[in-house]
Structure 1
Amino acid sequence: MVWSDMEFQVLLLILFLCLTSERCEGKVNHKPSTCGYPPSQWCRSLEIAVECGVQKQCLELNATRPNSAAPPVEVTLYYESLCPGCRAFITQQLYPTWTLLKDIMRVNLVPYGNAQEMQNAVICQHGEPECHANLIEACILHMASHEAFHVINCMEAASSVLPATQPCLQLFAPSVRWESISACVRGPLGHSLIHENAAKTRVLNPAHTHVPWVTFNGVRDPHKTVSGPGSTWFVIAHSPAQSGLHLGWLQICNRSKHDLYWELSGY
């Protein structure tokens, strides 16, 4: 059985989070304390695999590893800037995971959510302040490039999002002037960016029913993506029919208690 590039990359992501969890296939695992390599490099050589404690897993992976490098797994979050659940998801789940796995994981943020675009205005679920914050974050994403996620996480982690904008921008994207962001928000560029986010949200299939709403490589599988109480999210990968090393879905919950666990499904 030969894995596709994308399946192999998602499998590396799952392997990393499995090995850093407290439970993997019913066995207790502990994160290797001496591993100084990012997860995409764990299987690069036998020496690295031994140092990171993943020799057995890498032997299994390398047996079916594709020849070419796979692109990062693309995680897209559709959210609202002042939605409490979205703020918790960004700061407690998505951002911490991205900081660990950003070499194999690309995050796209789409601030809009349950807003409604009218002829000459946008009505947001949490009122005008949220519309303003959505505009600011859309402009930051457009202008701050690689630093944008750091800035937005800083804003969403603050006690109040809007007052934190300038301090977070200065801290994480000092090369981006606040005057440029403000001009974007007040001018046609900001409104064009929000219109693009509205269009991206409208064409979701299946249509979003709540926020935060997450897709993986542009796909949301309703049979494998489950929403429930607490902080949970799922990495999606279609499982092969063959026996052996499988791709499935990964659930992360209760990060504050460091209770990470995974399961395989689809068989």
Structure 2
Amino acid sequence: MYVSFILSTILFFYISGGLAVNCPKSSANWCDNKDIAQACGVIDQCNKYVWNIHAADDRVNLTVYYETLCPDCRDFIKTQVWNAYQSILSIVNISFVPYGNAREVYRPETQLYQFYCQHGSDECYGNLIHTCVIHLYPNTTAHLPFIYCTESTDGDIETVATQCAEKTSIDFNKVNSCVQSRLGNQLQHLYANQTDSLQPPHQYVPWITINGEHTEEMEQAAEKDLIGVICKSYKGSNPPAQCTKNL
């Protein structure tokens, strides 16, 4: 069953030097500075997606734009992405954007966004669950196993998510609280903005970028051999053994 959004106002604030920094209503301003990002609880997302701050190394930045019930997305994540995670994680930053071909409508009466998804309300629910898991467990090693589990398992969205949370040490009660909150709604809106701002605009899912760039050649190659694409893009020294096998 699709979980409805709780239409209550949640005020997030951060105390800095005795001054309260309020979280702006518009998520467009959430990453204006670190104090505001902290107040809104999205500092990890701002680091990863807006400020683009990564460790000072040569890692390849892979971003996967997807939607949770898309058959091609599920196949890509449970094969190509999962294999890359298991074998070459030391040279790649993997980021997920669960929105895909959805669209949003702002409802001024509730000050919330309403989402319409390609595969119906169940997919919107699944997207929001993934959004909250990524927010609450920002480390790839924490959220990717959950994403892999849910994308590899058929069944009722909430049942599958609950079971996968148990398997991957995710607290589903915390996730569910996020899903039903204004924060969850605004986090999904951030992913909507990120997806809709792609250049070139995305035309299908899964849609990947490597170091912020996308080409049809890259996409087709990644769907067949994502490890090979990442290894080819890696410019650092001491590549993992899996990369040397592809030379």
> Shorter chain as normaliser: what TM range?
0.5 to 0.7
CA contact (8 A) 2:66 2:100 kept: yes
**Higher helix proportion (structure 1 or 2):** 2
SS at match of 2:191: helix
CA contact (8 A) 1:77 1:108 kept: yes
Q: After TM superposition, give the deviation of residue 178 of structure 1 in Å.
A: 1.6
Match of 2:207 in 1: 213
Separation in 2, partners of 1:118, 1:112: 14
What residue ranges of structure 2 are gaps of 5+ in the alignment? 1-55, 108-113, 234-244
CA contact (8 A) 1:112 1:198 kept: yes
1:197 to 175, 186, 191: 191
Quote the RMSD (CA, aligned, Å).
Answer: 2.5
SS at match of 2:78: helix
Separation in 2, partners of 1:217, 1:231: 17
Separation in 2, partners of 1:132, 1:116: 14
Distance change in 2, residues 1:79/1:226 (3 Å): closer
Separation in 2, partners of 1:122, 1:197: 12
Match of 2:160 in 1: 164
Q: After TM superposition, give the deviation of residue 189 of structure 1 in Å.
A: 1.2
Q: After TM superposition, give the deviation of residue 203 of structure 1 in Å.
A: 0.8
Larger Cα Rg: Structure 1 or Structure 2?
A: 1
Letter of the 1:185 counterpart: V
Separation in 2, partners of 1:116, 1:233: 30
Q: After TM superposition, give the deviation of residue 231 of structure 1 in Å.
A: 4.7
Separation in 2, partners of 1:102, 1:125: 31
CA contact (8 A) 1:76 1:108 kept: yes
1:153 to 118, 132, 148: 148
Matches within 5 A, 1:171-250: 171-173=167-169, 176-222=170-216, 224-227=217-220, 231-232=223-224, 235=229
Letter of the 2:97 counterpart: V
Q: After TM superposition, give the deviation of residue 118 of structure 1 in Å.
A: 1.2
CA contact (8 A) 1:112 1:194 kept: yes
Question: Runs of 4 or more off by more than 6 Å in structure 1?
Answer: none
